Amino acid sequence: IAVEQRNESWVAIFRGVDGRRTITALWAIAAQQFLGLALFGTFGTYFFQQAGLADPFKIKAITTSLQIVTVVSAVILVDKLGRRLMACFSTTLMWIACLVVGILGVTPESKATTYIFVLFACLWNIGIAGNGAAGWGYIGEISSQRLRPYTSGFAASANSISGLIMSVLTPYMVNTHKWNWRY
């Protein structure tokens, strides 16, 4: 009926309830980009090296292993917990981990701050895996059926564009010869 009445278009995903559905479909995957996917994911080993950790590759191997365990757990638990709870919990965990890592960056360095840094990097990786498992499901489930291709396309494209921006900016953030943001 919508096609016959010519009410189905890209603009429709931003109107009324469909607009809220588009934002809901977008928030979890956009949060991945702005809460450190490029930093801990793509440039993780380099970030750990720039942070002064003794064996950055070992830390990256640990965090990646945690992601694998989390994804397997998420597949098992998503039907019991629900995508919304999993996405909200995971996004909050990522946000808190980023906040703590940022605070550690302005405190005096010690052995304890290094351990806390690694702990919260591990918690962040658990959060990103849970967020990814739930967030990408949001795209297909939350949009109205008649606008699903538009909503899915928009959300995936917005995620790609923000990922591109963050992938360009992140090396400058962690490089000691550029912006040197440290932790």
Per-residue model confidence as pLDDT tens digits over 149-167: 888 888 888 888 988 888 8
Q: Which of 53, 67, 40 is nearest to 133 (CA)?
A: 67
- DSSP conformational letter for 38: I
Mean pLDDT over 18-31 rounds to 85
pLDDT exceeds 70 at position 66 = yes
Mean pLDDT confidence for 112-123:
85
CATH class in words for 12-174: mainly alpha
Question: Cα 50–54–59 angle (5° rounding)?
Answer: 80
Q: How confident is the model at residue 131 (pLDDT cuts 50, 70, 90)?
A: confident
Indicate the pTM of the whole model.
0.81
Fill in the amino acid letter for 159: N
> Residue range 20-42: average pLDDT?
83
Neighbours of 69 (CB within 10 A): 12
What's residue 13's pLDDT? Answer: 80
Position 96 confidence tier, pLDDT thresholds 50, 70, 90: very high
Please determine, for residue 103, whether its predicted confidence score (pLDDT) is greater than 70: yes
Contact 26, 158 (CB under 8 A): yes
Number of H helices, E strands in the chain: 6, 0
Distance from C-alpha of 146 to C-alpha of 141, rounded to nearest angstrom: 12
